[in-house]
Structure 1
Amino acid sequence: MRKITILLILFITGFTYAQTGSVVGKLTDKEYNNEPLAFANVLIKGTTKGTTSDFDGLYAFNDLQVGDYVLVFSFVGYETQEIPVTITAGNVSELNVTMSASAASLDEVVITTTTKRESETALLLEQKKAVTIKQAIGAQELEKKAVSDAADATLKVTGVNRKEGSSKIYVRGLGDRYNSTSLNGLPLPSNDPRNKNIDLSLFSSGIIQNVGISKSFNSSISSDVAGANVDIVSKEMSGKSFFKIGVSTGMNTQTTFKDFKTIDGSNWFGTVKNTHHQVRDLTVYSFDNSYSPNKIKANPNFGLSLNYGTKINISDESNISIFLVGSTSNAYNYQEGRSENIVDVGNVGTQFDTQTYDYGVTNMLMGSLAYKINNNNKISYNHLFIHSNSQTIEDFIGTTPDIGRDEDDNRLVNLILQTEVQNKLFVNQLLSEHKIGESFDINAGVSYNAIYNDEPDRRKNTFIIENDFNRTRISQNAVRDNSRFYGNLFEEDIAGNLNFIKYIGESRLENKGQVAFGYNGRYTKRKFDGIYFDHNFTSPRTTFVDVDNLDATFNQTNLNDGVFGVETSRGRNNEDPETYLPQLYDADKTIHAGYGDLVYRFGEKFTANVGVRAENVKMNVSWDTNIDFPGFSNNSEIALNKQYILPALNLKYQLNDKINLRASGSVTYTYPQFKEIAPFTYEGINYQESGNPGLLPSDNYNAEIKFELFPKKTELIAVGLFGKIIENSINRLERNSAVERDFTFDNSGDATVFGAEIEAKVDILDNEIDENKAQILSVGSNATIMHTDLKFNTNNTLFNYTGTNSQLEGASPFTINADVSYKFTNNDKETISTLVFNYQSDKVFSIGTNFKENIIEKAVPIIDFVFSHKFNKKIGVKFNAKNLLNPSFERYRDIPEKLTMNTYKKGVTISAGLSVNL
C-alpha cells in the first residue's frame, strides 16, 4: 500500500447552539386520588421565570442554561414545595410532584432524565463518550440550516458529498454500493431498482430526530459497507402535548410563473391511475395517455405539514407516547442547457440543446407509538408510509450521428422522453428495550418493509426537423426510437436484530465496560418486470407529425392503416402468448450474522472495543431478457454464496477531560446489487445501462485515526486520517457498442483511498445581555482532502480501459462545508440567521474505456441563506434562499482542452413558511 503525504492548509472554525436543557413534569393532587392538579404555580427560584400547570397538570421550562435550579411549586391551600433539579446539556429532566395539604414526602417526588437526541449539544456529548467514530446531525441543527430532508442532512457531515442530479451520496469517495441505510437501527430497502440505498430525500426533516453517519465500523452493524452506514432515528414524543401546523410556499427564479410542460395522465397530487399496461392485443391501440405533453404555467411550490404528539401517563413509571406526522409538498423545476458527447478534439458525437421540466410531489404519513412499561422496559412501534412521484420531460434538439446520417446539415433531431416514476414505501418496525437487574440489557427489533416502484407509460419520441420545409417527421434509426415502456418493481424486506449486553461491574452507571453478543438476519426478495411497446413505422421519411398534437399520428386509425405497427421486444406475433411476456428478473438475498463485541476500560483513560462478526450471505438472481451477455444466455440465473469472518477494532485514549485520541480498523465486504448483475437494459434519453452477471463481491480493509478536542461542552475541533483498500472493486463504466453511451458494471481492479478530515465547532460570541436576552455568533466548517487510486485489471478480456488507473467515480479530492450563524433570543422571541456554504472540487462522473478519457464533473460552489423568527412559543416564520450563486453545473471530457459536454443551471429557489403550534 503506497504512502501518501497529505498537506492540510485549510482550517475553519465551527458553530454550535447554546448549552441548554429542559425540565417537564406533572402535578397531581394527593387529596383527590392523584388527579391532575391544574393552575398550580411553578417558579424558578431566584428568577422571574414561572408558569402554571395546564388542565392535565403538566408544566414545562425549555431552553434552560445548564446548571442547578430550585423549582418552587405552590397552590392555594396546599403546602409549598421547593425541589432542586439539575439541568444537563441536551437533556429533558422530568420532575413529577404530588401536592397535598401537608408537605409531600421525598418518595412522592420523582426525577428522571432522558436524552434529547435531536439537539446539537446532546449529540456532541454522545460523540465524545462513544468508543466508535461517529457523527450525527440532529433536528435542532437541521432546522437552523434549513435542511429539508435526510439527503441534505448527510451533506453537513465531514467527508460526505452527493452526485449532482441524483440521490446518491458519496462518503470518502465511495458511492451507493459501498454505503448502507437503516431506520432506527433496522435496514431499509431501496425505492429504486437502480440503487442499493433508499433515496434519503424521501425522509423529510419533520420526522427526523437525528441522522447518524458511522464511518468506522463495529461488529454489531451490517458488514456490507465500506463508506458509511447512515442511520435515521425517527422522532418520538417528548415533553408536553402539541399540535403543530406548517404551511410553506416557494418559487424558482427560472421556473415559477413561466411556461411549463407536464406529462398527460399525471396529476398534481402524484397519484397514478394505471401502473400496469392494459395491452392485450397489438392490433388495438390500448393507451389512455396522450403522447403530447400538457402546457401550463408553473405554479409556486407548496408544502403542508401536520404534527401531533401526546403522552398518556399510566403511573409514575409508565406512560404511552404518541407521535403523528402528515405532510405533502411539491416542486416545479425547469432547466435548460447543453449536452454533447465529445471523445476528443474534432471527434464529437451528439450535440443537443436541452430543456428539462420536472414536477415532483412527496406525501408522507408517520406514526410512532411507544409504551414505557416502567423505567426498565419499553416497547415501541413505528409505521412510515412515503408516496413520491416524479414527472420529468426531457426535450433535446440537435444533431446525432446515429440518426439521419445521410441528411444535410439543415436538419435537426428532436428527442423527447417523458418519464413518470411512482414510489410507495411501507415501513413497519417493532422495537423493544429491556433492562434486567443492574447490569444486563436485552434489545430486540423486527421489521417488515415493502416497496412498490412503478414507471408507467414512459414515452419516447424521435423526430427529424426539416427546417427547409418547415416540417417535422418521424425518425426511426431503431424501433425503440418511438416507444412506450412500463416497468414495475415489488420488493419485500424482512429484518431482525437481537442484542444482549452484560455490563462489567456492579451497575450500568459504574462499569468497566460491556460484553455484547447478538444476531442480525435479513431476507430481501425482489421481482422486476418491464415491457416495451415499440412503434415500427412503415415509411418514417414520409410520416409527418405535429409535435403539439402527436395523437394525430399515434392512434388507432394509423395502426389500422398500417402507418405503423406495435411490437414488443419479443416480436409482434399477436397469436403467440410469449409476445406479451415482459423482460424480467427475480432476485433474493439472505443474510445470517452472529457477532460478539467487547468494550473494556483500562483505567480512566484507555478504552478498547474489539469484536468479530460471522456472516453468511446468499444471493440468487434469475432473469429472462433479450440480452446475451458474454458467457451467459438471455434466460439464466446465478448464485453467490459467501461466508465471512470479519474483525473490528476501535480504540479511544482520553488524554484529559478535553482531548480524545481514537483509532479504528475493520474488515468488511461489498456485494454486487441485483440490478448490477441482471442483464436488463434500462434506456434513458441518450444512454442505456445494463447489468453484468459475472460480477463478484469486493473485500474492504478500513483504518482511521482521529484527534478530538472539546474546548467546551458545546465545542469540538477534530482532525482525522483515514485509509481504505478495496480488492476487486465494482465500478460503472462506459463500454464499446453501437450505442453511443452504453454503461455496465465490472470488477475493474483494486482501489486505495487515503485522506484527511478536519472539523470544528466553536462559538465566536456567546453573550447573555440580561436574564431575558442573549445572542450567539457561530462560525464553522468541516473539510476533507483525499486521494483515490483505482488500478485497472489488465487481464480483463471484456473491457478495454483507457490508461492503467483512475480516480474513483464520484470522489471529490477536496470538499468543504461552512456556515455562519447568528441567534438572538428575547424571552419567547427568537431570531436565527444562517449563511451556509458547500464546495466540491472536480470529480470523476464516469470512467472511460476504449480510448475515451474519463468524464469529469466540474467543481461547484453553493451558498444558501436561512432566516427564521419565532414571535412567541406558538407562531414562527421561516425564509430560505437556496443556490444564491446559481453556478453552472458542467461536465467535461478529461483531455487538455477540457471541452464541456454538459452544462445547465438550476436557478435560485426562494421559499417562506409559517408554523403555528396550537
Structure 2
Amino acid sequence: MAASLLAVAINVNAQPASDNSKKGKIVGTVIDAATGQTVIGANVSITGTTKGSATDLDGKFAIRNLTPGTYSVTVSYISYNKKNITGVEVSAGSPTTVNITLQPKTVGMDEVVVTATADQSSSAGLLSIQRKSVPMQDGLSSQQISKLGDGDVGSAIKRVTGVTVQDGKNVFVRGLGNRYSNVQLNGSQLPSTNPNKKEAPMDLFGSGLVSNIIVQKTFTADQSAEFSGGSVQITTREFPEERNFTLSYSTSYNTVSTLENTLTSGGSSTDFLGYDNGKRQLPSVLNSQRVSDQNAGQVANGLHNSWGISSNQSAIPSQSISVNYANQFNEDKMPIGVVSNFSYKYARELEPNKVQRFIQFFNEGSPNFLTDYNQTEGVISADLSGMLNIFVKPSPVTKIGLKSLYSNSTSDTKSIIQGPYQNGVNRLTILNFDRRTVFSNTLEMETYFQNFLSSTLTANVSFNSAKRIRPDRRTTRYNLSGNEYSFAPFGDNNGHFFSNQKDNNYAAKLKYKFEPADFLSVSTGGNVILKDRRFTARRISYRDQVAPFIDEATATQSPDVLFNDEQVENGTLEMVETTQFGTTQSDWYDGFQSIYAGFISTQWNAIDRLSFEVGGRIENSVQTIEVPLSLDGEYQEVSEVDNTDFLPAVNVTYEVSDRTNLRAAFSRTLARPEFREISNFNFADFFGGQRIYGNPDLERTRITNYDLRFETYPSGGELFALSAFYKQFENPIELFYRLTDANEVFYDNAPEADLFGVEVEGRKNITDRLQVVANASYIFSETDMGSQASNRVANITRPMVGQSPYIINVSSFYTIPKWDMNLSLSYNTFGERIVTVGKNGQQYDEYEEPFHDLGAKIEYPLGRVDLSLEASNLLNQEREYTQGPATTFRYKPGVTLQLGAKLSL
C-alpha cells in the first residue's frame, strides 16, 4: 500500500509546472471556541465571491489559486455565529495561515468581524488545544523544539512541566519513573529495548520528525490503565501545507572527549552503519548443543577472539546528517500527504575516570567499600533511522494513514576498569557491542458521520517490534600480583556473553464518539494488546582448574595471547559453558502478555461553563513467564500475573472566563511488573558490578490519583498555571539490595507509598522580541516499609525510588530582527532522587545528585541555509551518585558545542 501511494505521489509531482507557482493560498483550522474541538464541514469563503472551501475531518481548510493581495474571509456554520476576517494578505508561492475560532450562537450576536493575524505560531495553537482539552496536559510544539535546539525527543521532552529524562530515554513525569508512565507513538505504545526495565527509546527519534509532544497528566478512560505520572504522546507529521525539502548537517566538540585518544578494538567492516556483519555471531555448532570437551576446540576456533584494547585513535567530532522531505499532492481531488525522514549519526567518544563503588557496610559512619573502581570507556555510536508517513483523504470527512518508522542505534563500548575489590586489585576489560532496533507500523482510519449524531469513528492497528542484541560481549579479569596483573581463572569473569531479545507488540484500537444531545457526547470502544518477548543468553568462560595449571609467565600474557583458540585446543585452558536453565535460575525466558480492555466515557456541559468527563475502563491483563529446562527442552511456566481491574476516571472543568479554567480530576490506575522483573534471570555488567535479580512473586501496583489545577491564558502564546496533586500507591515496585555481602539487587513490592506535589508554569511575552518560559515542580513522597522490614532495609520510611523532590525548567527566546537572528537560553535541574534502596548495615539509600544543565543556541539564516551554534552543560557539571557521606558513582561529561547547517530547497 505504501509503495503504491508513493508512486501515485511521485507521478503527480512529475506533472509540468503551471502558473500556480505565481498564485497563493489561504490555509488554516476552524475550532469551536467553547470546546476546543475542530469544526468539521464549516464553510470558509472569500467574502463576496463563490470561491471557498469546507473544513475537513481535522477542521482544516485550503482556498487555493489566489492572486497575491489582501482579502476578507467569511466563515459560517450552522449553530455558530458567522465570522468575517479582514486584512488577510496573500503572497505568491507560500501559504497564508489563518486559524479561526467560532463562537456558538447566542441571542443578540450574529456576526463577528476581526482583523486577521497570519502565521499564528504553532506554540500558541498547542496552548489553545491545552486550554480546551478534557484532561490536564502540557506539551511542546515542533516550533518550540526547534527553538530549543534539541536533537531528539528524549532531549526535548524534559522542557515540559514536571518532566525529566535520564540517559535520554528514562522518562520521569512528576518525578515518577518509567513504570508509572507510558510513551505512545502515533497512538501506539512503544516497546522497550531494555531487557531490565520499561524503557521507551525516545533518544532514537529525531525531533524533526514530530508535529508535537503532549504529556497528558490526568487519566481518561480511553487511555491505557498503566498511567499515573502521565502519558507521553508523540505525534509525527501528516499533511504538510507546502513542499518541504531540507538537508541538515551538524558536528559537535566535547571538552572532555574530542581529539583525545580513546579506546578502540577490532570490529567488523559494517560497524560504522550500526550493524555487525556476522563476525561476532555465536558459532553455529552451539545452535543445538552446549560447549563440551568434545566441541570446545571447534567453538574456540569459531569465536571472535579479538581481545585487545588500544588507545591510538582520536575521538573525532561527531557527525550527523538528516534529510527531510514532505509534500501534499493531488490536493483538489484526493489529497495525498507524504512525510519522510532519513538520518544518520556517527560519534567516537572518550568517557574517562568514572568512579564506580559499592559500599558493603558502614563502620561507625565510615564506608567499607567492597569495590572502588575507576572506569574509562571508549564509545563508538552509530544511529540510523528512517520514517515514511503516507496519508490519504478519500473524502473531506475520511482519512486513512500508514505511518512507518525504523530506527537502529548501536553503541560499541570498550572499557578498562581498575581498582580494589575486597582485598585484591583487579584490572577488568569489557568489549560490548550493543544494538537496539525499533520498527513501528501503524495503519489508522478516521471518519465522520455528520448526519448521524455528529459521530466519529477512529480505528488503528499496529505492529511494533523491538530488538536488543549483544553479540559476543567479551570480559576479562586480571588480579594484581606483585607488580604485574595475571589471569584470574575462576568464575564467569573471563569469557563471552551473547544475548538476544526480541519483542513483538500487536495492537488494535477502536473508538466511537457521538453526540446524542447538544450538551452531551459519548465515547466508547476497546482495544487489544498482545505482547510476545523471547530473551536468550549464552555464557562461555575460560578457566584454569585442571592440573597442570598455567604458569606465571603465561598467566600475565595479554588476553589476545592467553585466550587464543590454540590454548583451548591443546588443553592449556578449559572452556566451560555456564548458561543456566531451569525454574530456579534461567538465562532464557519467554514472556507473554494479553490485555483486553473496554471503556465508556461521557462528556457533558449541562451547566453553563461547567463541564464533566466521567468514564470507566475495564482491563484484563495476563502476564506469564516460561523458562526452558534445557537448551532443547520443553518450557515450564514460573510466573503468572492475572488481574481484571475497573478503573474510574473523572475530569471536571469550570470556565471562570474565556481565558481562565479551574480543573479537578480523580482516577485509579495501575503499574504492572515488566517481563524481566518477574523472570528469574540475573546479570552483572562486570565483576564486582551490580547484579540484578528478578522476582516471580511481584504484584501489580494500584494507584489512586487526585488533581487540582488553575490555569489562565492572558493572550496568545501566554500561560500561567498552578497545579496540585496527590497519589496513593499500593504495592509499589522498587529496587532493593539483597541481604548478601555482594553487590546484588532485586525487584520487590513495598507495602505502600504516598506522593504530594505542586507545579507552577508560566509563559510570558516580555516584549515582541523576548519570550520567557518557566516551570517548576515541588514533590514530596514517602514509602513506608513497615516495622517488619527493619532488618532488611536502611530506612523504614524514605522517598519513593526515582522521585525528585523538585524539578525546574527555564527557557528564554530572543529575536534580533535586524539580522533575523534567534537566541535561546535554557536551564534544567532536578532534586536528588533514590536510585537504589539501601540494605540493613548500609544506613543510607543511594541517591542521584542534582545535575544543573545550562544550554544556549544561536540561529542565523544565510539565504537558504540556517546556521546554528549550540552548547550544552555550560556549567561543566558532573553526574554523581552518593550513599550517605560517600560517592558511589561520579563522572564529568564535559561541555558540548555543536555547529549545524540546514539547507532548505
Give the alignment's TM-score, normalised by structure 1: 0.82
**Mean alpha-carbon deviation: is it higher for 363-372 or for 834-843?**
834-843
1:600–1:609 contact (8 Å) kept in structure 2: yes
User: What is the match of residue 711 of structure 1?
Assistant: 714
SS of corresponding position for 1:125: helix
Q: Deviations for 1:37-83, whole angstroms, at most 9, x for unmatched residues?
A: 8446xxxxxxxxxxxx25xx6657999xxxxxxx999xxxxxx9898
User: What is the match of residue 834 of structure 2?
Assistant: 844
- Are 1:278 and 2:283 matched, yes or no? yes
Residue 202 and residue 346 in structure 1: after superposition, are their counterparts in 2 closer, same or farther (change >3 A)? closer
User: What is the match of residue 888 of structure 2?
Assistant: 901
User: What is the match of residue 853 of structure 2?
Assistant: 862
1:262–1:391 contact (8 Å) kept in structure 2: no
User: What is the match of residue 871 of structure 1?
Assistant: 862
2:135–2:217 contact (8 Å) kept in structure 1: no
User: What is the match of residue 803 of structure 2?
Assistant: 811
Equivalent of 1:414, from 405, 427, 434?
Answer: 427
Displacement, 1:123?
A: 0.7
Residue 341 and residue 368 in structure 1: after superposition, are their counterparts in 2 closer, same or farther (change >3 A)? same
CA distance in 2, matches of 1:334, 1:227: 33
User: What is the match of residue 737 of structure 1?
Assistant: 740
Displacement, 1:315?
A: 3.0
Equivalent of 1:96, from 40, 43, 64?
Answer: 64
User: What is the match of residue 910 of structure 1?
Assistant: 897
User: What is the match of residue 683 of structure 1?
Assistant: 684
User: What is the match of residue 464 of structure 2?
Assistant: 449
SS of corresponding position for 1:529: strand
User: What is the match of residue 288 of structure 2?
Assistant: none
1:264–1:294 contact (8 Å) kept in structure 2: no
- Are 1:462 and 2:430 matched, yes or no? no
Residue 825 and residue 651 in structure 1: after superposition, are their counterparts in 2 closer, same or farther (change >3 A)? same
- Are 1:533 and 2:536 matched, yes or no? no
Unaligned 5+ runs, structure 2: 1-14, 30-43, 76-89, 101-118, 286-294
Displacement, 1:546?
A: 6.5
Equivalent of 2:592, from 588, 602, 607?
Answer: 588
Given residue 95 of structure 1, which amino acid in structure 2 is its aligned partner?
I
Residue 545 and residue 536 in structure 1: after superposition, are their counterparts in 2 closer, same or farther (change >3 A)? closer
CA distance in 2, matches of 1:118, 1:483: 57
Displacement, 1:358?
A: 2.1
Displacement, 1:157?
A: 1.1
**Mean alpha-carbon deviation: is it higher for 496-505 or for 516-525?**
496-505
Given residue 916 of structure 1, which amino acid in structure 2 is its aligned partner?
L
Q: Deviations for 1:712-742, whole angstroms, at most 9, x for unmatched residues?
A: 121000000011011011101111225x311
Displacement, 1:625?
A: 7.6
Q: Deviations for 1:223-268, whole angstroms, at most 9, x for unmatched residues?
A: 0122111111012241111221111111111111110113432522
Q: Deviations for 1:435-493, whole angstroms, at most 9, x for unmatched residues?
A: 01251100111101112210111111111234x44x321123x4211121000011111
2:328–2:335 contact (8 Å) kept in structure 1: yes
User: What is the match of residue 567 of structure 1?
Assistant: 576
- Are 1:553 and 2:562 matched, yes or no? yes
Displacement, 1:900?
A: 1.7
1:625-644 matched pairs, under 5 angstroms: 636-644=637-645
User: What is the match of residue 143 of structure 2?
Assistant: 140
User: What is the match of residue 43 of structure 1?
Assistant: none
User: What is the match of residue 20 of structure 1?
Assistant: none
Q: Deviations for 1:381-439, whole angstroms, at most 9, x for unmatched residues?
A: 001010110122232111011xxx3x6xxxx3112222211122111100111001251
Displacement, 1:348?
A: 2.2
2:99–2:120 contact (8 Å) kept in structure 1: no
2:514–2:523 contact (8 Å) kept in structure 1: yes
Displacement, 1:359?
A: 2.2
CA distance in 1, matches of 2:636, 2:510: 39
Q: Deviations for 1:653-691, whole angstroms, at most 9, x for unmatched residues?
A: 010122100011100111111000111112112111121
- Are 1:228 and 2:230 matched, yes or no? yes
Equivalent of 1:308, from 312, 322, 325?
Answer: 325
1:751-762 matched pairs, under 5 angstroms: 751-762=753-764
Deviation beyond 6 Å, 4+ runs, structure 1: 60-63, 80-87, 109-118
User: What is the match of residue 83 of structure 2?
Assistant: none
Unaligned 5+ runs, structure 1: 1-34, 41-52, 64-70, 74-79, 506-510, 572-576, 627-632, 767-775
User: What is the match of residue 700 of structure 2?
Assistant: 697
Given residue 380 of structure 1, which amino acid in structure 2 is its aligned partner?
G
2:427–2:485 contact (8 Å) kept in structure 1: no
Displacement, 1:544?
A: 4.5
1:53-132 matched pairs, under 5 angstroms: 53=21, 94-97=62-65, 119-132=122-135
Q: Deviations for 1:261-301, whole angstroms, at most 9, x for unmatched residues?
A: 13432522221123641152322312124011354211110
1:483-502 matched pairs, under 5 angstroms: 483-502=495-514
Equivalent of 1:384, from 392, 396, 405?
Answer: 405
User: What is the match of residue 800 of structure 1?
Assistant: 792
**Mean alpha-carbon deviation: is it higher for 714-723 or for 389-398?**
389-398
CA distance in 2, matches of 1:709, 1:315: 40
CA distance in 2, matches of 1:851, 1:783: 36
Q: Deviations for 1:814-842, whole angstroms, at most 9, x for unmatched residues?
A: 1100012102346xx63111111011122
User: What is the match of residue 820 of structure 2?
Assistant: 830
CA distance in 1, matches of 2:353, 2:54: 58
User: What is the match of residue 427 of structure 1?
Assistant: 440
Displacement, 1:802?
A: 2.1
Given residue 612 of structure 2, which amino acid in structure 1 is its aligned partner?
A
2:154–2:168 contact (8 Å) kept in structure 1: no
CA distance in 2, matches of 1:314, 1:351: 66
CA distance in 1, matches of 2:893, 2:629: 37
SS of corresponding position for 2:224: coil
Given residue 371 of structure 1, which amino acid in structure 2 is its aligned partner?
V
User: What is the match of residue 47 of structure 1?
Assistant: none
Given residue 444 of structure 1, which amino acid in structure 2 is its aligned partner?
A
Residue 106 and residue 801 in structure 1: after superposition, are their counterparts in 2 closer, same or farther (change >3 A)? closer
CA distance in 1, matches of 2:762, 2:606: 29
CA distance in 2, matches of 1:237, 1:824: 31
CA distance in 2, matches of 1:292, 1:118: 55
Give the alignment's TM-score, normalised by structure 2: 0.83
2:751–2:786 contact (8 Å) kept in structure 1: yes
User: What is the match of residue 259 of structure 1?
Assistant: 261
CA distance in 1, matches of 2:891, 2:775: 28
SS of corresponding position for 2:159: coil
CA distance in 2, matches of 1:890, 1:288: 36
Displacement, 1:545?
A: 5.6
Aligned residues: 803
CA distance in 2, matches of 1:98, 1:492: 49
User: What is the match of residue 525 of structure 2?
Assistant: 518
SS of corresponding position for 1:849: coil
Residue 621 and residue 84 in structure 1: after superposition, are their counterparts in 2 closer, same or farther (change >3 A)? closer
1:341–1:348 contact (8 Å) kept in structure 2: yes
Residue 582 and residue 623 in structure 1: after superposition, are their counterparts in 2 closer, same or farther (change >3 A)? closer
1:648–1:667 contact (8 Å) kept in structure 2: yes
Equivalent of 2:724, from 677, 697, 721?
Answer: 721
Residue 62 and residue 912 in structure 1: after superposition, are their counterparts in 2 closer, same or farther (change >3 A)? farther
1:72–1:81 contact (8 Å) kept in structure 2: yes
1:368–1:382 contact (8 Å) kept in structure 2: yes
1:173–1:788 contact (8 Å) kept in structure 2: no
2:255–2:894 contact (8 Å) kept in structure 1: yes
Q: Cα RMSD over matched residues?
A: 3.4
2:617–2:648 contact (8 Å) kept in structure 1: yes
CA distance in 2, matches of 1:609, 1:836: 36
SS of corresponding position for 2:306: coil
User: What is the match of residue 206 of structure 1?
Assistant: 208
1:247–1:304 contact (8 Å) kept in structure 2: yes
SS of corresponding position for 1:260: strand
